[in-house]
Structure 1
């Protein structure tokens, strides 16, 4: 699991996401999508176990900084409609 303390930035600052060796290329589309999925999987798991979703905020911050808002909005609507193609 991620060390959330080392990933935190000073209060109020939202830096660029750290390097992820799974996505070494300039095109960060897959990184955006994977972090979106990871966030929703994390929230689902934490809610199922009755725990705080605070550790999932890392994924939220990363996908919010990498993904265009229109993609996130469309994916969220698809999740609500039950038509999202990803496995959450």
Structure 2
């Protein structure tokens, strides 16, 4: 679930994230964080229901496109360590 480094993008299938009306401004920091949370919430729910996590791939691609790698690594470490501030 949290091994983001092992989830690689399919070649040639990365696109720019579409416009999200919740984040109309140029600063996309909140958009990055929200999609990171949405991905992990989606994976958690799908695993709990015993379903495929394929629908969660959208959030994964968006936050990987918007977020700096250092943020993603730090947040992932915080989740694993139990110190992440967001509610997943």
- What range is the shorter-chain TM-score in? 0.7 to 0.9
Partner SS, residue 60 of structure 1 = helix
Runs of 4+ in 1 over 6 A off after TM superposition: none
**TM-score, normalization by structure 2:** 0.87
**TM-score, normalization by structure 1:** 0.87
Q: Tell me, which stretches of 5 or more residues in structure 1 are unaligned?
A: 1-10
Instruction: State the aligned residue count.
Output: 78
Partner SS, residue 72 of structure 1 = helix
Q: Partners in 2 of 1:13 and 1:35 — Cα distance?
A: 18
Q: RMSD in angstroms over aligned alpha carbons? A: 0.8
Q: Tell me, which stretches of 5 or more residues in structure 2 are unaligned?
A: 1-10
Q: Partners in 2 of 1:57 and 1:12 — Cα distance?
A: 15
Deviation at 1:22, TM superposition (A): 0.1
